[in-house]
Amino acid sequence: PHDVATFLQQCPDLDKKQLGDYLGEREDFAVQVLQAFIKLIDFNGLEIDGALRRLLHSFRLPGESQKIERIMETFAGQFFTQNPAGVFA
C-alpha cells in the first residue's frame, strides 16, 4: 500500500476524480492505500482549512457520501496525530 500511495502522489498525469474515487473505496487494500497516501502528506503546523487544501490538491472528493466519510475520517486522524496540541486538543 505504501508503494502504491507513493506512486499515486508522484504521478501528475492521473485523473484527480478517479483517484479520489479509488481512495474512497472500502476494500481492504484501497483503505490501506488511503491511509498510506494521507500519511505521506505533511499537515504539521497547518490550520484545518490549509490542511484540507493541501489534501485536496492531490485529488477530488468522490460524489458518494460513504467514500467522502472514509477519506475525511482518515484525514482527521492523521491531522490530529500531526497536530496534537492544535485546535481540537
Radius of gyration of the chain (CA): 12
Residue 10, C-alpha cell as written in the block: 508522484
Confirm if 52 and 58 have CB atoms less than 8 A apart. no
Angle formed at CA 24 by CA 19 and CA 28, multiple of 5 degrees: 110
- Cα separation of 79 and 89, whole Å? 11
In the set 47, 64, 69, 73, the catalytic residue is: 64
Q: Say whether 25 is catalytic.
A: no
Positions marked active-site:
64
